[in-house]
Amino acid sequence: MDVTEELMYFKLIQGYFEGLKSENIVLKAGTEIRAISSTPARYMVVHPKKEFRILLTNMTGRMILDLCRSKRSIGDIRDRILSELPTGIDPALVLMDIVKFVRMAEHHGILRARLT
């Protein structure tokens, strides 16, 4: 599924994700973020207590992780990232990408997400 199809599908079901906007996300203690490349910016995220699982991410993923050092909601993260992006970016696309990233990072034991 390409991004356009995925976004169209996400917009159709977005109403079901309203609760996610208030979901609190916290970076798990012990997680390390290491720069591995500057052009383009790439980071390796490691949580040593989780069987040395490694997550590779870009600058936006790093921004999400940095915002999660203190408890934040997905809505807060979306608003902050949108403020850093050029105007005209579809907020639904940003939300979709954040939800996917958070779920992947949660799966790898790097973030803890809980509905409020």
Q: For the residues 12-31, what does the mean pLDDT come to?
A: 73
Residue 34 within a domain = no
Residues of the domain holding 97: 20-29+59-114
- Segment 22-64, tens digit of pLDDT: 677 888 888 888 888 888 888 888 876 766 677 888 888 999 9
Number of domains in the chain: 1
CA 59 to CA 22: how far, in whole Å?
Answer: 23
- pTM as predicted: 0.76
CB atoms within 10 A of CB 107: 11
Residue 85 within a domain = yes
Of 5-9, 27-31, 80-84, 88-92, highest mean pLDDT: 80-84
Its sign, for the CA torsion 81, 83, 88, 90, is positive
Residue 76 within a domain = yes
Residue 109 within a domain = yes
- Segment 61-81, tens digit of pLDDT: 999 999 988 888 888 888 999
Residue 78 within a domain = yes
CA 43 to CA 110: how far, in whole Å?
Answer: 13
Predicted confidence at residue 51, as pLDDT, reads: 62
